[in-house]
Amino acid sequence: MFSDYLKSNFDWDTTTRDILAMTSADVEQALSRERLTDRDFMALISPAAAPYIETMAQRSRQITERRFGKTISIFIPLYITNSCTNSCVYCGFNRHNKIPRVILTPEQIEAECKAIKEMGPFENLLIVTGENPLMAGTQYIEKALQVCRPYFSNLTIEVMPLSTEDYARLTHSGLNGVICFQETYNRDRYKIYHPAGMKSKFEWRCDGFDRMGMAGVHKIGMGVLIGLEDWRTDVTMMARHLTYLRKRYWKTRYSVNFPRMRPSESGFQPNVVMTDRELAQLTFAFRIFDPDVDISYSTREEHSFRNNMATLGVTTMSAGSKTDPGGYATYPESLEQFAVSDSADPRVVAADLRALGREPVWKDWDRVFD
């Protein structure tokens, strides 16, 4: 399992020092390679790489167009419950927050699906829940997949980490992909942000990706939350994690996401602030490091910034997102998990992408293959 591999092979503080010690020569060597090591990746995200960002952007664009063409896959999230037993200090769904809790019924989930289909020709749906194993566990998630399946060709979930057996079970109910955010790979400080609930167990969450791979999940999405710990060290650990997974579960597709913290009911203020330029640098570095990985931007990011990055390395975007359960039709005024930055209508998002020479793709998976 990766948590053991991580503990045996990599140290947080050493990795941080190594990144900050990178030089221009290290960056130039990384840019000269066809296949990059994790050390090369560290060079490309280091402060020493800042003067090379335009070179990295062009390299990223070339690789992206060679591997993905000029396409951007479009998806939309559907939050079906904000019920949660965790105490994540940065999250609006923290169990201690005094907010109305909602668990959508199958009928309400179907109403949400119908409302989403009226917004645009969406076929890629991300089903999101809080983490409440008793009230919204595997059986509830399975039912949600069954309700959504007639409306969407591609179903992904972002839920509590499950067992290998449960992931395998869900693949028989229409599940195509799983997204999980490790939030931070800093094991020593992880519990500061996740003091209670199942999410407080670093190893259980970190090893969830192995369980997805063993269950044969078609696509695995990874991410760290930018704003908790040193972002350069966190994304380096994620890059190492991705390399580990590719070697063991090579039939699986992978995506990465690096969301920056947004305001929420928790009131938590980020410990680290990443600039737009740094996020661009990270995006280019990941594309150069792994030409085949899907790089996703959510509506946490500003509309204009997402447009700029759509031609330089990003391959997937959300559109029209509501981060509150029932936000499309059932409970339009319910509490959102976090505030979105890009509230543009999905058709506007698609039109802007076409104006940039990109082709919005509303689905990349067909029922005929099930």
Report residue 243 as tokens: 């390399």
Q: pLDDT by residue (tens digit) across 294-351?
A: 999 998 899 999 999 999 999 999 999 988 899 999 876 655 555 667 788 999 999 9
Q: For residue 45, give the CATH number of its domain.
A: 3.20.20.70
Regarding pTM above 0.85, the answer is yes
Q: pLDDT by residue (tens digit) across 186-234?
A: 999 999 999 999 999 999 999 999 999 999 999 999 999 999 999 999 9
The confidence score (pLDDT) of residue 324 equals 87
State the DSSP code for 47: G
State the DSSP code for 314: -
Check pLDDT > 60 for residue 25: yes
Which residues span the domain enclosing 316? 2-369
**Average pLDDT, integer, range 63-85:** 96
The confidence score (pLDDT) of residue 185 equals 98
Our count of domains for the chain comes to: 1
Q: pLDDT by residue (tens digit) across 113-142?
A: 999 999 999 999 999 999 999 999 999 999
What is the C-alpha to C-alpha distance for residues 118 and 243, in angstroms, rounded to an integer?
A: 39
- Compute the C-alpha angle 126/228/2, nearest 5°: 65
CB 188 within 8 A of CB 207: no
What is the C-alpha to C-alpha distance for residues 29 and 325, in angstroms, rounded to an integer?
A: 48
Check pLDDT > 70 for residue 266: no
Q: Which amino acid is at 169?
A: R
Check pLDDT > 80 for residue 260: yes
Instruction: Please state the length of the chain.
Output: 370
With tokens 């509590």, the residue in question is 160
